[in-house]
Copies of this chain bind each other. A is one copy, B any other.
Amino acid sequence: MTRSELISLIRQRKSFLCVGLDTDSDKMPAHLQGQPDGVFQFNKAIIDATIDYAVAYKPNIAFYESMGIEGLVQLKKTMQYLQSLDKKAFTIADAKRGDIGNTSQRYARAFFDASGDFNFDAVTVAPYMGEDSVLPFMGYPDKWVILLALTSNKGAADFQFLRDAQSGKQLFECVLERAAQWGTPDNLMFVVGATKATMLSQVRAIAPRSFLLVPGVGAQGGSLEEVCRYGLTEDCGLLVNSSRGIIYASNGTDFADRAAEEAQKLQKQMSQYL
């Protein structure tokens, strides 16, 4: 999906909501647990219930890998279902990959290859190994790298705020600056945690046009209003993710209805900022 297609989708649905498919077979409603294709059935119901209010879906790859090879079969079915729908959505593999060039090339193929099992629009990438670990993900037309800059977890403080003696910049700012030489706002987004919304203005000073994927609204405590105040651009420039708050709004048979309600609530708030 291109940048202009993504922006159109956001305008059309009046939403910049990304639904995180962190599907945990232990937290699914009891009637789906242990069912063949239970994980896919859960995801399908969540997608059907929320697609009018969301523009993106973000399966968290760890949750599928932790179910073994069968988990990846469920992920494949989920992606095939998303791609079969008339209503389009931007798809993100939340995978935090990154390795030396010839290896990142393989990860890129795993997530992006149109003839492969998944064919995602975007993948999250960790920056620690630098340029040649990121570039191979940029070799696919209309596909995106979403590079970790400032994450929403406590451990973010361990390294991301270190201040470079030479430039006076913090590590996450160095990442934003360097990465601007590797990609463009047409193929590169950044992960910026919502738990530090005021730092979004620091991010916008370096990356004024880039889309930001913002996790941490909801369960992790971030505020949508603050994210919009500091992060919103003319083209929206935001994808705000909610996972647990939507997909586990209920663990009863009404889980899809409750997910729809939560997604609609967020979409309504979002529409006011657009």
Contacts and interface: CB of A to CB of B under 8 A. Distances in A.
A265 interface: no
A152 B103 CA distance: 13
Most buried by B among A66, A116, A129, A171: A129
A157 interface: yes
Contacts of A114: none
A206 to B, nearest CB: 15
Task: Count copies of this chain in the complex.
Answer: 2
A38 to B, nearest CB: 17
A73 interface: yes
Interface in A138-170: 148, 151-160, 162-166, 168
A191 to B, nearest CB: 10
Contacts of A133: 153, 155
Contact of A163 (B103, B104, B165): B165
A109 interface: yes
Interface residues of A, number: 57
A227 B94 CA distance: 36
Interface in A41-99: 60, 62-63, 65-66, 68-69, 72-73, 76, 94, 96-99
B159 A68 contact: no
A107 interface: yes
Contacts of A110: 62, 65-66, 68
B106 A128 contact: no
A105 B151 CA distance: 17
Interface of A: 22, 60, 62-63, 65-66, 68-69, 72-73, 76, 94, 96-101, 103-104, 106-107, 109-110, 113, 116-117, 126-134, 148, 151-160, 162-166, 168, 171, 174-175, 178
Given A100-B155, A129-B148, A130-B159, 5 more contacts: A62-B110, A66-B107, A72-B72, A128-B128, A129-B156
